[in-house]
Amino acid sequence: MFRINNSACGVCGKARIAALQLRGYSKITSDLTVKSEVIYSLSGQLRSHQDIFSTTGGLHAAVFDAEGTMLNLQEDVGRYNALDKLIGEAVLSEELPFNHYIVMVSGRFSFELLQKSLAAGVPIVFSVSAPRSLAVSVAQEFGITLVGFLRGTRFNIYTGWQRIITA
């Protein structure tokens, strides 16, 4: 038995989003906002706490509050594992949902990372890189603010601009 797959994300993407809806996920409702000055500080804070990254180039994920205080950092060679560690620790300490927190990763935001963030109730996600198009679709569908290319004092807002307060 074999399966034929194609690399296009149009139809498969719609099916994946519909599957999330069928599982009972709904729009993230959170009044969390973040100021651009706080956003500018996140990647520097992340970099200063990256012990494993500086030696191995491993990827990582971190949780911040709206004031930019780093609450938790998890590193792993894979960004999926780092986010799993972050969410898993929150489950064990009964800190979910993350509806008043920001999650940041060092790699691209993919469908899978957005799915995990949705399950954890994260309203705002940041990345130092570009998100995949299906991640943007998921963020838009479920009301997640998605910011990419966060580097220094520059970033791109892909969805949920109303949660970002610019000076």
pLDDT band for 148, please (50, 70, 90 cuts). very high
Residue 2's pLDDT is: 36
Average pLDDT (110-130) is 93
For 67-76, the pLDDT digits (tens) are 988 888 887 7
Locus of tokens 């956003």: 39
| Residue 146, Cβ density class (10 Å: 0-12 exposed, 13-18 middle, ≥19 buried) | buried
Going by C-alpha positions, the residue among 157, 135, 130 that lies closest to residue 145 is: 157
Contact 163, 34 (CB under 8 A): yes
| Residue 135, Cβ density class (10 Å: 0-12 exposed, 13-18 middle, ≥19 buried) | buried
Which one has a higher pLDDT value, 116 or 61?
116
Q: Which residues are catalytic?
A: 9
What pTM did the predictor assign? 0.84
For the cut 80, the answer to whether the pLDDT of residue 6 exceeds it is no
For 21-57, the pLDDT digits (tens) are 788 888 999 999 999 999 988 876 666 655 555 565 6
Q: Which CATH superfamily is domain 27-165 in?
A: Cytidine Deaminase, domain 2 (3.40.140.10)
Domain boundaries, the chain: 27-165
